[in-house]
Amino acid sequence: MSSRAEDAFFDLRSLANPSDILIGYHMGCPDGVAAAYILNRGLQKLGLKCQVVPIGHSGQKFTMYVRPGQIVFSLDISPSLDDVDALLLVQQVVILDHHPSEVETQVKLAEALVGKVTNLSDTTGHHCGASLAHQLVISNGLGLSFDADVIHMIHKMDVFQYKMPAHLDSLFLSFKSFLIQDGERNVSFELMDRMFADKDNSIAIGKALSKPILDRTVRLFESSELLVETAHYRILFCYQCADCRPIDFLSYQELIDTKIDGKPTLFITQDEVPNAKGIFNLGLRRAGDALDVSTVASSLKACASTPFVSGGGHPFAGGVQSNVLVAKEQIKQLGVEVLMAFVQIGG
């Protein structure tokens, strides 16, 4: 299944229970925050009040938030199968996601929640969470407008391969630096509102922040160590301590790509600091294109002795999450297990 959002229309005025709406968005992610910001503005235009909550990566993502009879929007993230019991009690679940790793889960959710799921996701690469929310709001003719340049740059932050208009290239680093000033996974509604309200001033502030962010990015990359290398694959590891943030992910990836030599190469970044829900992230990236990182993430989560409670992402970048800070030796063992299997099945 690879849905295209252009094929779908959803009438926001037709919500079955407009008095009780939950917007759950990918926590801390610029794309998730932008998607929630745009959709919330649209629903406010219709006079609807929403509960807006950040959703982290865990077994149960929505269960603790939903109430019977609600309309639930899931933006830049998909509910998990562990949420099914709680979601059986809601009126409707509307999913706007673009992560290929979530397609199978979305299919199973639709099967388990018969008649309740409206899937407006798009996994073709043409959309991010923010652009899906923007398309939904604009298609409803609510008289709102959102800066297209901001949406293009949000898309580029989330999907490095996205080709944004060339006139934005010179602004992009300053744009990112403004939004991630509190942490690369800690983008706030307040910063997003300021960016949409006054892009030029926000970018000017971001320009002053960009140099220290790039310096930290280089420092983190240069701390990498080789965990294991065989004739068939290689695993490198970085430990991101509390004072080494925020960094610029695109510049980080460009540095990682200096390791390209044709061999499948997994680059792991362990974040010392848990998110607001106490979940630790293990970032996964690749040097070159010989690995599908979303498959690696799913495989790490599926290992028999895994400490990871969730995982996924894109072919080029993703992550797995745990309730504890996992020991480096265990990360190495699980990485070897997954990449050995990858090599055996020919990628």
Under the banding of pLDDT at 50, 70 and 90, the label for residue 6 is: very low
Residue 232 carries which DSSP code? S
Q: Tell me the pLDDT tens digit for each residue of 260-273.
A: 999 999 999 999 99
| Residue 61 near residue 80 (C-beta atoms within 8 A) | yes
What is the percentage of the chain residues whose pLDDT exceeds 70?
96
Residue 57 above 80 pLDDT? no
The percentage of residues in the chain with a pLDDT greater than 90, rounded to a whole number, is 83
* pLDDT exceeds cutoff 50 at 2: no
* Domain 221-344 top-level CATH class: alpha beta
Please write the tens of the pLDDT for every residue from 62-97. 999 999 999 999 999 999 999 999 999 999 999 999
pLDDT of the residue at 59: 74
Q: pLDDT class for 313, splitting at 50, 70, 90?
A: confident
The pLDDT of residue 331 is: 97
Candidates 3.60.20.10, 1.10.150.240, 3.90.1640.30, 3.40.50.880; CATH matching 5-139: 3.90.1640.30
Q: What is the pLDDT of residue 346?
A: 56
pLDDT tens column, 283-305 = 999 999 999 999 999 999 999 88
State mean pLDDT over 309-331: 92
- Tokens standing for residue 202: 């926000």
Whether the pLDDT of residue 1 is over 50: the answer is no
Please determine, for residue 318, whether its predicted confidence score (pLDDT) is greater than 60: yes
In the prediction, which pLDDT does 35 show? 98
Considering the chain, tell me which residue range(s) the CATH 3.90.1640.30 domain(s) occupy. Answer: 5-139
Name the 3-class secondary structure at 149: helix
CA 113 to chain centre: 24
Using CA atoms, how far apart are residues 336 and 251, in angstroms rounded to an integer?
27
Integer Cα distance of 148 and 174 in angstroms: 17
Query: Residue 285 burial (CB < 10 Å; 0-12/13-18/19+)?
Result: buried
Tell me what the mean pLDDT of segment 167-180 comes to.
97
Only one residue has tokens 């006054």, namely 198
Mean pLDDT score of the chain = 93
Question: Residue 344: its pLDDT value, please?
Answer: 74
- Which regions of the chain carry the CATH code 3.10.310.30? 221-344
Strands 92-96 and 308-313: unpaired
Determine if residue 147 is left, alpha or beta; phi over 0 gives left, psi from -120 to 50 gives alpha, anything else beta.
Answer: beta
pLDDT at 7: 52
Helices (H), 11-102: 30-45, 84-87
Q: What is the pLDDT of residues 98-119, one digit of tens each?
A: 998 899 999 999 999 999 999 9
Burial group, residue 200, by CB count within 10 angstroms (0-12, 13-18, 19+) = exposed
